[in-house]
Amino acid sequence: MEFDFGKFNPKDRYKLLSSTVIPRPIALISTVDTNGVVNAAPFSFFNVFAEDPATCVVGLARHEDGHKRDTARNIEETGEFVINMVDRNLVEAMNVCAVDFEPEVDEFELAGLTPVESRFVVPPRIAESPVSFECKRTVTLQLSVGRDLVVGEILTMHARDGLIDPEKLYLDQEQYDIVGRLYADKYAPLRDIFSLKRWQPNEWFAAHCGKKQDESEQGGE
C-alpha cells in the first residue's frame, strides 16, 4: 500500500511519519529569552547528523498563526541552546515542559528541574539529565510558514559522572536509561539490545562466498 504524501494534509503526514520513524530520541531543549527568562521544551524531531563539526538538527513547529514558539524564538534571538537527553527519571518533568505555557513562565521551576550553569552558552543545562549538549545555532531553515529546522553545532557535552569511561569513551549502557518517543502519548525505553558485526569487504566475501574479494575478482584460488 502506498501513501502518496502529496495527497495527505500535514496532520495525516505527521501521523504516518511519527508512528513509523520510531523510536525518536527526545531533546529537552533549554533556552533563555532576551529578558533572562529560562525555557525548556521537548522535541523528538531531533537527532545528530555529523561529528565534524558535531552537528544536531531540531524540527520546530510554529503556532497556528505562524508565530514562533518560545524555543524557536529564543534560539533565533540568542543563537544558543542546550539539548538535555531524557531518561526515565526525567519523563514526567519533560511532559510538564511540553505544556503550552505563556512565554514568561519558567518551566524549570514548574517541572522541578535544577538549572546548572553552562560553560560556553547562556542557557543552563538540566542537572537531572544524564547527558547535555551545549549548542550554538549554525543556521535555521524555514521549511514552510509553520515549520523551522534549526541546525546547531555542539560545543561541549556533559555526562553524569560514571556514565562514560573518560579513557575509552565507552558508555555504560546499563546506566543509560534513555527513553524514546513513539507516537501520540507513547514512549519506550531501550531494551533487547543486540550486536551486529560491521564487515570489511574481504571478510564478508570470505564468510559468505568462501573466498576473499580480491581472489574472486582475480579469479584466484
Ligand X SMILES: Cc1cc2nc3c(=O)[nH]c(=O)nc-3n(C[C@H](O)[C@H](O)[C@H](O)COP(=O)(O)O)c2cc1C
Residue number, 150 or 164, with CB nearest to ligand X:
150
Residue number, 29 or 164, with CB nearest to ligand X:
29
| In the complex, least distance from residue 69 CB atom to ligand X, rounded to whole angstroms | 3
Residue 125 within binding range of ligand X, rule CB under 6 A: no
User: Between 16 and 45, how does the x/- string for binding to ligand X read (CB under 6 A)?
Assistant: ----------x------------x-xxxxx
Residue 100 within binding range of ligand X, rule CB under 6 A: yes
Report how many residues bind ligand X under the rule CB under 6 A. Answer: 17
Residue 122 within binding range of ligand X, rule CB under 6 A: no
Residue 59 within binding range of ligand X, rule CB under 6 A: yes
User: Between 164 and 183, how does the x/- string for binding to ligand X read (CB under 6 A)?
Assistant: -----------------x--
SS (H, E, C) 20-50: HCCCEECEEEEEECCCCCEEEEEECCEEEEE
Cis, peptide link before residue 53, omega less than 30° from 0: yes
Nine-digit cell string for 198: 560491521
Residue 70 within binding range of ligand X, rule CB under 6 A: yes
Residue 71 within binding range of ligand X, rule CB under 6 A: yes
Q: What is residue 216's three-state secondary structure?
A: helix
Distance CA 148, CA 72 (A): 8
Distance CA 62, CA 197 (A): 42
Stretch binding ligand X (CB under 6 A), from 47-55, 95-103, 133-141, 149-157: 95-103
Residue 123 within binding range of ligand X, rule CB under 6 A: no
| In the complex, least distance from residue 98 CB atom to ligand X, rounded to whole angstroms | 4
Residue 61 within binding range of ligand X, rule CB under 6 A: yes
Distance CA 135, CA 56 (A): 8
CB atoms within 10 A of CB 90: 24
| In the complex, least distance from residue 148 CB atom to ligand X, rounded to whole angstroms | 9
Distance CA 28, CA 103 (A): 16
Stretch binding ligand X (CB under 6 A), from 4-12, 67-75, 150-158, 194-202: 67-75
Between the alpha carbon of residue 19 and those of residues 113, 125, 154, 181, 213, the distances in Å are 29, 29, 28, 9, 40
| Strands of the 187-189 sheet, one edge to the other | 24-25, 179-181, 187-189
Which residue ranges make up the site for ligand X (CB under 6 A)? 26, 39, 41-45, 59-61, 69-71, 95, 98, 100, 181
